[in-house]
Structure 1
Amino acid sequence: MFKKLVVGTLTTGIVLTGGIGATSASTEGVDNTKNSAPIVQRTQILKDDFSLMNGEREVPFEHVKKADMRVHMTNNTKGTLDWSLKDSKGNVIGSGSLAAGKGFTNTYNTLPKGKYKLKVTHRNGGSGSFYAAARTLD
């Protein structure tokens, strides 16, 4: 009987005081303003799956204005792909290789408006496809 009385008294005391630690939950001096990243507008200029033809594929697209450009590619083949991104003058903007099932996303800063080409070659001349997307960042 004594145990029930003590437990009942403790429970009543906790309920009446607002629970354990209720006084330590002060919000005084807390900054509740949200710090959000700036919104970046994007213009989709390329987004599709592409099949390799004789182990390679060249995908032309147009960067719509002088701005940053973001390029993404995913290798859907069973082998390694080599890729390069060139501007309208044939200058290499970026290049690399991509293992089977892997992807990358690169951002290129302040590229001029114009035509670009993404050239993709299967290292063993194999078949398959890849996904490519590009965006102009406003």
Structure 2
Amino acid sequence: MQYAILCYNQEDVVGAWTKEEDDAVMARLMVVQTNLAKQGKLGPTARLLPTTSATTLRKTAGEPMVIDGPFAETKEQFLGFYVVNCDTLEEVIQIAKDLAIANPGVGSYEIRPVGVFFPHGAPQEAIDA
């Protein structure tokens, strides 16, 4: 089963890290990622740019509205994600704990099963897998 691990943190705190602090966090996260890749469990990952670079299309009752910035005003922002292949929820929870240990400060990791669908049929590589 594929799971998405959505990473939330306080963007102002993370954005205030020095290059050295950021590099140290990324190095600790890379240890976790390398271990997952060796096990064949790591899928796509992404680190999102700050919410100040976001654009949101907000669906309303009328015409959709395009606005600058993130959709929700929250204390923690969605900063990135991992997709992992795990046999059990307990396994993905342990991975999220490892990521939390590697990343200092407060924040949260939301875990969701991923339902994969191909709107135009499965690509050949998915069929061959």
TM-score with structure 1 setting the length: 0.31
Larger radius of gyration: 1
Higher relative contact order (CA 8 A, sep 6+): 2
Higher helix share: 2
Q: TM-score, normalised by structure 2?
A: 0.32
